[in-house]
Structure 1
Amino acid sequence: MNHLAHLFLAGSSTDSLIGNLSGDFVKGVLGDELPPAIRAGVVQHRKIDAYTDAHPHVGDFRRVIAAEHGHYARVIADIFIDHFLASRFDEFAGESLESFLSRTYARLDPHEATLPGMLRVVYPRMRDQQWLLSYRTLEGIETALRGISRRFSRQPKLAPATHLLVDARAELERRFEIFFPDVMEYARTLW
């Protein structure tokens, strides 16, 4: 999963939001450099990632992508999961994506200057360029995948994978529909 799902699955506290969003930006062993509640959010993020990696329907989801994109299937699948969540957010959250993001950003903004690691640099762009809202559209997913491609030394062409959200949508969405309620239930055990 990517940023949207981790924010959605975070506990209700602001520290949990910060920690869960920081999970991709804070690497290695966690020491005392983070406040305990934020550190707990990073740990929750890592546990959710491990649960996701082990889920059989996520494995099937990734196999659909791996046929064309090999070992980049995991990264692409994370973005696709956020796409399906963004597309059907009100169904899972009971509120609009816009409302959730507005409320979430209002809680994160006062902490922008003290966000951990590279999140301090990435968060303002994520918010101002509306990355998470754009995940609802194929164009938004293409943009996200192009950005991710630039982070790899080989700069693989990930954006063309977006066609799978059309060509294999039924299969991918079916896997998402089984997986996502499971991960929601698991995340609740971590709060």
Structure 2
Amino acid sequence: MEPSASDEEQIKVMTLEAFADTIVPGNKRWPGDRAVAGVSDDAGAVAAGALELLESPAGGLSPWLAGLAAMLNAHAENHAAGQGIELDGTVPAFVSLDYDQRVALVVRLTAWDHPERQGWVNLVMFSNMAFDTGAQMHTVDALAAGHPGLLTLGFAPPDDDGLWRFPDYSYRRQLADLHPATTASGSPA
């Protein structure tokens, strides 16, 4: 029987979440969570919105995500066969791998000499970007929602008016004088 469109969507989502979790591991969202391996006590790329960022039209990967998920599962099946790993057929092949097996496969797919490297590196970059920057949403909204990556990194919240001002210079010294035409909001005139 052919999988339905909703089955295909679930396979894509679980596979991409498992990939993102391999890049920035997080804690399980519920006890039976299979996509997130749960090797961290903290939230990772999945909780930070990796799937939303990957599916964002602005990122340009959205049209290829179903194909990448299918390719990743095919690679997982080949990897499992080559390593003597028995897969659980109730979940996508990549999701069936344990965390260390997922890492081993991703390392192979992102190796310099792998012909599909660029596609996998793109998924790696978007997974990191979702955690490190919350790029799929406005930074003020991400901080207000308790974005796990921004909180982990110690990203400073804005002032009460929604603007960031930094009275303490990051290098602990002023590097240059403000341009005389800089407005009160910090914008150039």
Q: State if a TM-score over 0.5 links the two structures.
A: no
| Higher normalized helix content (fraction of residues) | 1
Q: TM-score range by the shorter chain?
A: 0.3 to 0.5
Q: Which has the higher contact order (CA 8 A, sep 6+)?
A: 1
Task: Provide the TM-score with structure 1 as the length reference.
Answer: 0.32
